[in-house]
Amino acid sequence: MSGWIDQAWTALHTLQGPPAYGLVLGLLVASGFFLPVNEDLLLVAAAALTLKGLMQPPLLVLVAWAGIVTADALVFHWGRVFGARALENRWAARVLPPARLARAQAAIRRWGPLCIMAARFLPGLRTPIYFAAGSLRLPYRQLFLYDGAAAAAEIPLVVYAVRWFGER
pLDDT in tens, 24-60: 999 999 988 878 888 999 999 999 989 988 899 999 9
54-77 pLDDT, tens digit each:
899 999 999 999 999 999 999 999
Query: Where does the pLDDT of residue 5 fall: very low under 50, low under 70, confident under 90, or very high at 90 and above?
Result: low
Q: What is the pLDDT of residue 9?
A: 66
- pLDDT-derived band of residue 95, with 50, 70 and 90 as boundaries? confident
CB 64 within 8 A of CB 43: yes
> DSSP letter string over the chain?
--HHHHHHHHHHHH--SHHHHHHHHHHHHHGGGT-S--HHHHHHHHHHHHHTTSS-HHHHHHHHHHHHHHHHHHHHHHHHHHGGGGGGSHHHHHHS-HHHHHHHHHHHHHHTTHHHHHHTTSTTTHHHHHHHHHHTT--HHHHHHHHHHHHHHHHHHHHHHHHHHHT-
pLDDT tens string 107-127: 999 998 899 999 999 988 898
Residue 1 pLDDT more than 70?
A: no
Query: How many CA atoms lie less than 13 Å away from 36 in the CB half-sphere?
Result: 8
Cβ neighbors of 117 (< 8 A, separation 6 or more) are 146, 147, 149, 150
pLDDT at 10: 72
Q: What is the pLDDT of residues 75-94, one digit of tens each?
A: 999 999 998 788 788 887 78
12 band by pLDDT with thresholds 50, 70 and 90: low
| pLDDT of the residue at 11 | 66
Q: Tell me phi and psi for residue 123, to 5 degrees.
A: -55, 140
Q: Do residues 131 and 75 make contact, with C-beta atoms less than 8 angstroms apart? A: yes
Q: What is the pLDDT of residue 155?
A: 98
More confident residue, 40 or 6: 40
- pTM for the predicted model, two decimal places: 0.86
Residue 16 in this model has a pLDDT that exceeds 60: yes
CA distance 143 to 113: 8
